[in-house]
Homo-oligomer: A and B are copies of this chain.
Amino acid sequence: MTTIVDVARTAGVSAATVSRVLNGNSRVDPQLVATVERVVKDLGYRPNRVARSLRLRHNRVWALVISDVRTGPFFADVVRGVEDGAYEAGYPMFLCNADEDPSKEAIYLQLALAENVAGVILTPSGPSTDLGPLVDAGIHVVLADRRLPGSQADSVVTDNVGGARQAVDHLLANGYRRIACIAGPPRVTTGSDRLSGYRLALEEAGRKVNPSLVRSGDFREPGGRRAMEELLEQRPRPDAVFICNNRMAAGALQVIEEAGLALPDDIAVVGFDEIVWAPLLRTGLTTVGQPAYDLGHESARLLLSRIQGYSGSARTVLLPTTLNIRASSAPRSGPLKATAGPRPTGLPLRGAGPGRRATRSRRSGGGG
């Protein structure tokens, strides 16, 4: 391994001079600069980042602590957004899968501390995530995807309440009345916010929330399966279901198919998170799309601005969702058993075929 002193020796200068030309923040005789640069090249010298970090007392690295890269395409896209931002800014990035496990998350946050990273982008595993030690150590933190009530960190989230509300509004408008919800885990804000949106939409429409139509999954396929199985046992059966993420949707759709039910006639479905395959499904799946890549990239941008010295109060970036309407939520056909509430409005009979692929976008507050 060739060090800075090797370069200094063969260039006939001191290590300090080499350091100066390498970092270019000090005046050095152009002649020496040339010599040093040539020697650096000849010897293939690469500064040792570990030594540099020790000396500088800060480490040019970020840590990204998320739940799981595998979670549908969503987190993978977020990761890529962050990685691009980190790369552009010249920071490598630790990838840490906390896996919804607070203790694993804690271990990774301690790592961030021990590595003295420049910043952390974090998807908190729950409300008890403790940012204190990081903040005390002067390590910048940006929350991505999930809020952490009570914390003072910058955060970037999608409009979960608005997106969910829009989805349920859409189902109501299309004539569905017993709308179920497969919600996420309540301890994370993506879980609770989407459920809030569902509730809000129903309440605003003057209908009350039927607790037996709300099931809570864990954002994974088996949870979606279980929840859907339970919902299908309800009598009367729900005529629609809003599913709060794509992995649960995959599980739920399998159950629906195995039960021999058809979308949307037997049951309408709207999922959360857009997927490439949505239009290619047996019945095109209506989804609430999130700008996952942007979410990651925006988090990176906020982190970078903090690292570069911005010290205003905590910023919250709210990203809009998109409702991608497909056949799985087409207007209801058949008789309406006016279950409750008003609004037996004139409803179009089965308008949208599988070919319909309208996309509406809406920017909305209310992220809470």
Contact = CB atoms under 8 A, between A and B. Distances in A.
Interface string A269-308: 0000001110111100000000001000000000000000
A130 to B, nearest CB: 12
A327 to B, nearest CB: 10
A87 B92 contact: no
A113 interface: yes
A96 interface: yes
Contact of A50 (B59, B73, B83, B110): B59
A73 B76 CA distance: 8
Given A87-B97, A92-B115, A114-B46, A281 B281 contact: yes
A169 interface: no
A68 interface: yes
Contacts of A61: 94
Q: How many identical subunits does the complex contain? A: 2
A116 B113 CA distance: 20
A77 interface: yes
A95 B114 contact: no
A69 B79 contact: yes
A259 to B, nearest CB: 13
Nearest to A293: B70
Given A276-B250, A280-B250, A95 B79 contact: yes
